[in-house]
Chain A
């Protein structure tokens, strides 16, 4: 699968697989996020056109450059270096997209940091703080999903899953409190991750869309959970 490889000072910062379409820009909803004020919100797009890939500038303020040349629309070849702003970063297009490093990256100059084999070195430079902010901005969480009570007795009609982990059970720490002597203290835990919400069944019986859940299941919009006498609908943030 072809990839876009975000590099800074010839070091790989992030690798994004391009399936049909990928976008580059400042806003967090892009595939490749470049958090620099000179970059437009949605700066450029890479998409499949037949058996090859094409980059298109999305009317950006400061332009898109491929191998140093400003382009509005151009076919990409393996190893092409895309730039969307000045600076030490580059985005390399890797057509083969093997597991290893890209052709472009392999040709890059070796890193300045010298270390013996197996040695771990520490890079302390202010620019890496900016890098970290960059990475973090790419992972900005979306709005929280909710559990809507469809049936059964609960103290609320809707529960927001904005915590990292939300528990359904009899425990005092539970978000959705189950009542009754035989109810488990922790029946289900719903954990939020970059990939979505995962329900982990801890004790007792839980069904999702009428199917028993044995261990873990990724929740999809509209899923109906049945746990401890409650029927709850999982709704992603609109």
Chain B
């Protein structure tokens, strides 16, 4: 089969949700220096839910914290008892109900990690960052704590959607960051929220600081512009981060917002197939 035709058939299998389709790619890598990958990503493409967590606390504790937090968020929002709100947005609050629910899920995950750390002395002081996106009805709700980031890419522009909760070190040469907010370190946590309308042709990037500290934003934008296919973008970004030192764990999720099939036929006819239609796993290389 011609590659272009294969791509078209593949794109038909991407996730259709509320009039929009998402194509997703992701990758996590331990990096060149660390022994353990404390990053975790979770993809629930069918529900439009995506999470990246970057554990802190060293070795098994960081790994546990990020996994507990990620699982708690996903379980809360996609579990059988999850009461997913629809619309009726603006009437009272400042944010859409979905955004508030995402925030609530993140706050709960904080309690989970905090309780676990308090009751198990081996994991005292563990914590994790989180950046999560919940996409439905053309709006992406973004919640984050710490220095994992979300970006929106459209028309060759990369826009940061999050602002790190860290103190930039006064010493420019010192490659460190000090988090002022993380999940699991205190009984309650402030969650930063934002909403961004998304349309076909947009890309959302969720990533840990292992990527953003190794790969300049202009490079991220260029890679998306060049490759366009989420899994290939993810792989390339991780390769570049490794090439630039890979001092931390590297994790990235790339989500492409696609139009209807006829829009794709006219604008996205490209000879590259791929992507994860509905990946549920989060393998750590």
A8-16, A69-77, A80-88, A228-236 - interface stretch:
A8-16
CA distance A153 to B196 in the complex (A): 28
Residues on B close to A: CB < 8 A? Answer: 19, 33, 54, 56, 86-90, 93-96, 99, 125, 127, 137-139, 147, 154-155, 165, 167-172, 174-182, 185-186, 190, 193-199, 201, 209, 213, 247-248
- Given contacts A118-B213, A191-B196, are A132 and B96 in contact (CB under 8 A)? no
Are the C-beta atoms of A110 and B171 separated by less than 8 Å? yes
Q: Tell me whether A154 is interfacial, beta carbon within 8 Å.
A: no
Cα distance A193–B147 in the bound complex, in angstroms? 20
Q: List 9 A-B contacts (CB under 8 A).
A: A11-B170, A118-B248, A120-B177, A131-B180, A164-B195, A165-B89, A166-B89, A172-B87, A186-B137
User: Does A46 count as interface, using CB distance less than 8 angstroms?
Assistant: no
Partner of A202, one of B56, B96, B125, B197: B197
Q: Across the interface, do B88 and A172 meet the contact criterion of CB distance under 8 Å? A: yes
**For residue A191, which residues in chain B have a CB less than 8 angstroms away from its CB?**
195-197
Q: Which residues of A contact B193 (CB under 8 A)?
A: 164
Q: What are the residues of chain A within 8 A of B177 when measuring CB–CB? A: 120-121
Interface residues of A in 31-62 (CB under 8 A from B): none
Known: A12-B170, A105-B170, A215-B199. A186 touches B88 (CB 8 A): no
Cα–Cα, bound, A7→B169 (Å): 10
Complex-state Cα separation, A201 to B198, whole angstroms: 9
Interface size counted on chain A using CB atoms at 8 A: 46
Partner of B167, one of A13, A101, A115, A185: A13
CB distance from B55 to the nearest CB of A (A): 9
Taken together as a complex, chains A and B put the C-alpha atoms of A13 and B165 apart, in Å, by 10
Check A113 against B179 for contact (C-beta < 8 Å). Answer: no
Is A189 part of the contact surface with B, judged by Cβ < 8 Å? yes
Query: Is A211 in contact with chain B by the CB < 8 A criterion?
Result: no
Q: A130-174: which residues lie under 8 A (CB-CB) from chain B? A: 131-132, 162-167, 171-174
Least CB distance, B67 to chain A, in whole angstroms? 17
Name the residue in B88, B169, B175, B186 with the highest tally of chain A Cβ atoms < 10 Å from its Cβ: B169
| With A166-B90, A189-B197 as contacts: A120 and B180 at CB distance below 8 Å | no
Say if the beta carbon of A108 comes within 8 Å of chain B: yes
Given contacts A110-B174, A185-B19, 5 further A-B contacts (CB under 8 A): A113-B178, A120-B147, A121-B176, A164-B94, A200-B197
Q: Please give, as numbers and ranges, the residues of chain A lying within 8 Å of B99 by CB-CB distance.
A: 164
Known contacts A101-B170, A122-B185; is A115 also within 8 Å of B88 by CB? Answer: no
Question: Which B residues lie within 8 Å of A216 (CB)?
Answer: 154
Enumerate chain B residues within 8 angstroms of A121, measured Cβ to Cβ: 56, 176-179
Decide if the interface of chain A is mainly helix, strand, loop or mixed.
loop
Select which of B154, B176, B186 is within 8 A of A117 by beta carbon.
B176
- Nearest-neighbour CB distance to chain A for B267, whole angstroms, equals 13
Closest to B166 in A: A120
Residues from chain A with a CB closer than 8 A to the CB of B176 are 113, 115, 117-121
**Beta-carbon contact of A100 and B167 below 8 Å:** no
Considering the chains assembled together, what is the distance between the CA atoms of A100 and B177 in angstroms?
A: 16
Establish whether residues B178 and A173, one from each chain, have CB atoms under 8 Å apart when the complex forms: no
B221 shortest CB reach to chain A, Å: 16
A99 and chain B: residue at smallest CB distance: B172
Does B247 contact A111, Cβ atoms closer than 8 Å?
A: no
Q: How far, in whole Å, are A185 and B154 apart by their CA atoms in the complex?
A: 22
Task: Point out the residues of chain B lying under 8 angstroms from A185, CB to CB.
Answer: 19, 137
A140–B241 CA distance with the chains assembled, in angstroms? 36
Residue numbers in B under 8 Å from A111 (CB-CB) = 167, 169-171, 174, 178
Q: Which of B88, B89, B170, B190 contacts A132 (CB 8 A)?
A: B190
The residue of chain B having its C-beta at the shortest distance from the C-beta of A173 within the complex is B87
Cα separation A120 to B56 with both chains bound (whole Å) = 7
Residue from B171, B174, B198 with most neighbouring chain A CB atoms (10 Å)? B171
